[in-house]
């Protein structure tokens, strides 16, 4: 059992103001793996006060020096990557090989992309040739509250901290109480890199406690939140009283539109993408829309592929999926699978209960529903587990209508060998991101959504801009 109770505030590890212990559960075993303390109002106030005091000096630090500190952080991150992977595997159930490559690797990737983007970004620039005495200055939003989820912990921590640090914001990080250990390792890394006291602060807590306190705090200028749409709505309402800037990266119910001319690996690729991270990704392709001429074969292929996805302990090496994060999520997923059965979707593989041979741990059977329609619960709600819903369609127009008929708008996927059709689909699908034929978005591409999937963008240039204010200056004097 790991016991870490301290918070990182104003450049030092401090004892929480009140004893409010929380057990972190290893989802592979259902046993406690760590004890942390959840912060109280006094802890939140202390962290925000430290950030507020550090802000003027950090904003005045030349951007080249801020970038250099992030570059130093990247080297330290690399040396601690195994520690991060072990922590995430233990606390949120990412299989250790996947934790090493995807979970831990994501942080290095994002930090490097921020450095690249920042070096090419003009933080101070003329308005244009037509206005020689006008200047545009990009400066930090101010004190930023960063609230991160449990499903891709380092991915989200680095997307927020890297951008905020380079932009000149001082910050308070509240990681998910379900996966706090990796964030505390990250705080050690920030300390080792030499960020000035108060620029980065960490307070553990839950959403009702520290999360709500940060959202409503009068000295917080911005909230950057990744998590559920429900929580994002509550944060927006709380932040409205002080007109904070609010950045939200929320849920999704992505459509993977497979046309009859899709490549032969398209269905298999879509199923495996859905099962990655045990389906616990907001951009998962959870609705597979298949054109009717290949629909029956696609269902057969999807069932075969999903039935061969192995499930096991996150601490074991190998290519398998692990458990979902906790009992609450496990129960929710079971209820939704049963709902799919009750509403008439055809269960072609998987179902309720644990996989065979696993009687402990929050393991879910890789599940595929066929013959669904877009009004069924399994096609409407974000399940956040290894559950794929397949829906047939006839025409391109019908596919667009089904794909867009959702309150979410994060990521959609298109599988076709017709380039003109792929481009048409990209233009009409209502989502912040569209990926085609298994081609991932490139380094520095912005991540974010429309509608109830949130606002703002993370990563690269757009991620930096979200933490910056634009100041227009007239009458700029030559120096």
Contact criterion met (CB below 8 Å) for 461 and 122:
no
What is the per-residue DSSP string for 165-188? HHHT-EEEEE--TTS-HHHHHHHH
* β-bridge pairing 346-349 and 367-370: antiparallel
Burial 97-115 (b: 16+ CB within 10 A, else e): bbbbebbbbbbbebbbbbb
Closest CA to 221 of 149, 167, 176: 167
Identify whether the C-beta of residue 200 lies closer than 8 Å to the C-beta of residue 173.
yes
Residue 103 · residue 153 · CB < 8 Å? yes
Give one DSSP letter per residue of 431-471, joined into a string: SSEEEETTBPPPTT--B--EETTEES-BSHHHHHHHTEEEE
Phi-psi region of 61 (alpha: psi -120 to 50; beta: other; left: phi over 0): beta
* Contact in structure between 241 and 216 (CB atoms under 8 Å): yes
Who's near 63: CB < 8 A, 6+ residues apart? 118, 123, 166, 168
What is the Cα 186 distance to its own chain's centre?
Answer: 17
**Whether the Cβ atoms of residue 10 and residue 195 lie closer than 8 Å to each other:** no
- Measured between its terminal Cα atoms, the distance across the chain in Å is 61
Among 167, 172, 155, 199, residue whose Cα is nearest residue 67: 167
Place of tokens 């989802």: 27
Other Cβ atoms closer than 10 A to 19: 10
Half-sphere exposure of 11 (CA within 13 A, CB side): 10
Active-site residues, by number, are 249, 282
Q: Who contacts 236 (Cβ-Cβ below 8 Å, separation ≥6)?
A: 246, 248
Helices (H) and strands (E) in the chain, counts: 16, 23
Going residue by residue through the chain (479 aa), what tens digit of pLDDT does each one get?
777 778 999 999 999 988 799 999 999 999 999 999 999 999 999 999 999 999 999 999 999 999 999 999 999 999 999 999 999 999 999 999 999 999 999 999 999 999 999 999 999 999 999 998 999 999 999 999 999 999 999 999 999 999 999 999 999 999 999 999 999 999 999 999 999 999 999 999 999 999 999 999 999 999 999 999 999 999 999 999 999 999 999 999 999 999 999 999 999 999 999 999 999 999 999 999 999 999 999 999 999 999 999 999 999 999 999 999 999 999 999 999 999 999 999 999 999 999 999 999 999 999 999 999 999 999 999 999 999 999 999 999 999 999 999 999 999 999 999 999 999 999 999 999 999 999 999 999 999 999 999 999 999 999 999 999 999 999 998 87
Q: If you search the block for the tokens 């601490």, which residue do you land on?
A: 315
Q: What share of the chain is helix, strand, coil (3-state, %, to 5)?
A: 40, 25, 35
> What does DSSP assign to residue 152?
S
Cα–Cα dist 2/98, whole Å = 22
Decide: 403 and 254 in contact? Cβ < 8 Å: no
pLDDT tens digits along 400-447: 999 999 999 999 999 999 999 999 999 999 999 999 999 999 999 999
Quote the CA–CA distance of 366 and 346 in Å, as a whole number: 14
| E strand residue ranges, 236-345 | 245-249, 255-258, 287-291
- C-beta separation of 321 from 361 below 8 A: no
**pTM > 0.85:** yes
Give the bridge partners for 145, in sequence order: 172, 223
Q: Between the CA atoms of 444, 71, 227 and 98, what dihedral angle is there, to the nearest 10 degrees?
A: 80
With contact defined as beta carbons under 8 Å apart, do 316 and 356 qualify?
no
Question: Tokens 């879910």 sit at which residue?
Answer: 364
């Amino acid at each position: 059992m790991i016991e870490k109770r301290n918070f990182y505030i104003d450049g030092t590890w401090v004892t929480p103001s009140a004893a409010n212990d929380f057990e972190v559960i290893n989802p592979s075993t259902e046993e406690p793996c760590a004890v942390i303390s959840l912060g109280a109002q006094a802890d939140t106030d202390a962290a925000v006060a430290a950030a507020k005091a550090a802000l003027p000096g950090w904003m005045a630090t030349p951007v080249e020096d801020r970038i250099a500190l992030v570059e130093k952080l990247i080297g330290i991150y690399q040396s601690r990557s195994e520690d991060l992977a072990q922590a995430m595997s233990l606390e949120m159930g990412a299989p250790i090989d996947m934790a090493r490559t995807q979970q831990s690797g994501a942080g290095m990737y994002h930090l490097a992309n921020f450095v690249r983007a920042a070096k090419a970004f003009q933080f101070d620039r003329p308005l244009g040739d037509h206005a020689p005495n006008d200047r545009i200055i990009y400066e930090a939003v101010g004190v930023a509250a960063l609230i991160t989820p449990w499903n891709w912990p380092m991915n989200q921590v680095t997307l927020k901290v890297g951008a905020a640090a380079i932009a000149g914001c001082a910050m308070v990080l509240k990681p998910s109480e379900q996966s706090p250990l990796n964030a505390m390792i990250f705080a050690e890394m920030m300390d080792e890199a030499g960020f000035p006291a108060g620029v980065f602060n960490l307070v553990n807590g839950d959403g009702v406690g520290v999360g709500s306190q940060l959202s409503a705090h009068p000295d917080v200028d911005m909230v950057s939140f990744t998590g559920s749409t429900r929580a994002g709505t509550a944060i927006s309402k709380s932040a409205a009283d002080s007109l904070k800037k609010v950045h939200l990266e929320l849920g999704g119910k992505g459509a993977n539109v497979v046309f009859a001319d899709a490549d032969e690996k398209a269905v298999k690729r879509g199923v495996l993408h859905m099962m990655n991270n045990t389906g616990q990704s907001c951009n998962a392709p959870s609705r597979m829309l298949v054109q009717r001429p290949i629909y029956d074969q696609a269902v057969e292929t999807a069932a075969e592929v999903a039935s061969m996805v192995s499930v096991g302990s996150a601490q074991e090496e190998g290519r398998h999926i692990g458990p979902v994060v906790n009992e609450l999520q496990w129960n929710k997923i079971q209820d939704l699978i049963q709902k799919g059965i009750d509403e008439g979707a055809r269960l072609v593989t998987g179902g309720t209960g644990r996989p065979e041979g696993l009687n402990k741990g929050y393991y879910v059977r890789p599940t595929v529903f066929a013959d669904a329609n877009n009004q069924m619960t399994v096609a409407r709600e974000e399940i956040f587990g290894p559950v794929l819903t397949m829906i047939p369609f006839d025409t391109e127009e019908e596919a667009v209508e089904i794909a867009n008929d959702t309150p979410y708008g994060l990521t959609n996927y298109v599988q076709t060998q017709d380039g003109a059709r792929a481009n048409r689909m990209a233009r009409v699908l209502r989502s912040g991101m569209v990926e085609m034929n298994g081609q991932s978005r490139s380094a520095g591409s912005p991540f974010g959504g429309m509608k109830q999937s949130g606002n703002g963008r993370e990563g690269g240039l757009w991620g930096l801009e979200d933490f910056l204010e634009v100041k227009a200056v007239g009458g700029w004097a030559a120096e």
